[in-house]
A and B are shown apart, each in its own frame.
Chain A
């Protein structure tokens, strides 16, 4: 018999999957230097359109496709406004975030609370029968598998391929990338749109898989986009760290739900917000290597071990892409 908590944890993975995909999307976009603040609105609108498309056509694939295109389109607007028209990414993104949300609620009202197709589980033969790991990892829905694939692919792309190196460089210092022959604006457009597409896909995954239907404002989706933006930062613009950030967040949320009944004295709101300070604490830990007192403490170590310790702390450290949100003009 599989214990209860295994199913709880499996649920955490399902809840995390859309966020993971969106975090990777935003990470790619920000690594190229474009902040897509419209995320929250884009996800909602994409989710609604995806659901509507799936209901109308009866095809889940078309639903995901429509959502992906909506996400890409929203990102394209942000990219066009900032890269071509040279407007503020922040302002345009914020306006689109509000616009997308209202549009989703308005256009989505005919589709509220109606039955529609839903992504079913896709157990993987053989592996699904493993004890514990089977029900936890291998009896999941396709979006969970996809989210893992997306993270791995993004990591390989960013750190193991040449285009990925170009991506990191463009966000870091566009003028230097330009000097080395990179068409900066084109690269930025590309990743902004790709990131937006992933965000749109994530929106559809949330509704078509995790939630199983569009419920308008009570879908519980509003705000997710902002959390994704925050986790992108917590994750240090790194897909794997970002994914762990999401998992940590989803886990903390689930734990707070589990613990809540046994601690009736504490108001439920506390459980809702506790994950946030914990995330900030985690971030502090990763940046420990910068603190002077840590360096002083390490100075007592013998030379070779001191270097090693410094290197480890150093590799934990995160800093935003230096060219984030900055305009760049090719002469």
Chain B
């Protein structure tokens, strides 16, 4: 297990809120997790639960009116380049300062959720990758192009020389996704954040992209934070899984425990409700009643309590359970397992 190693990234009680005219959206409201070197750390949850905002906070690219209002984002830096492996709190850095800019795209790279956002339409993909390489490494333009070309080869782009001189919109969905991965990897990141890297592509392309990411992680021993709402993808990719709901962590643990011994009622219900190619056809699926509340109407207490079949009246609807270790390796925030509530 990875828990023996020192974490590469430790997020502690992170809160990121959006201050809107209509009110405050508490998109991320007290999230804690550790990512270890070489780990594929999966984050699952339905739309709006705060997956992307958590990662934007880590990269310090939360757009206004959003703000990190609490918490620590501790990154253990690589040795060398004048650093001796010290830990810095990214939450305290200036979002556009020199240090944060060298970390973003350098030590931590992002595959963004919107594939078109990754590349500008007015420059060729090659020029953009070369620019990124030159920003983080002291190399000549020519050497940077060589690195970019090698990256395109590594991610399996056919005729890479020609593709470098094309624009993002000229590439098919599958090729564009590979180019984005090539760009993210061009500076040898120690942590790659992949935010729904396969939602926009077809299932056969998805299989290609997932294989590619797995191979890169093995070859380079980089850590990957893999975000998706697809439980199939998470089961196949992640070694450790964190389940989010309405800005909070409901449960986390090793992938096998999450899928074969889920503890939180939300994880259990979510797993039951998905049709699978392995399940019997045309029988009713067990469902979760109701729908995800609007972010302005977050319920009091446990965020899942209005939809929970096991709710303890007077408790779950009044107090918010904290994330606690329950089984050997699993952490759950649910009063069925403990009595610890979130400090207010």
The answer to whether A and B come from one shared complex is no
Show the binding face of B for A, using Cβ within 8 Å.
none
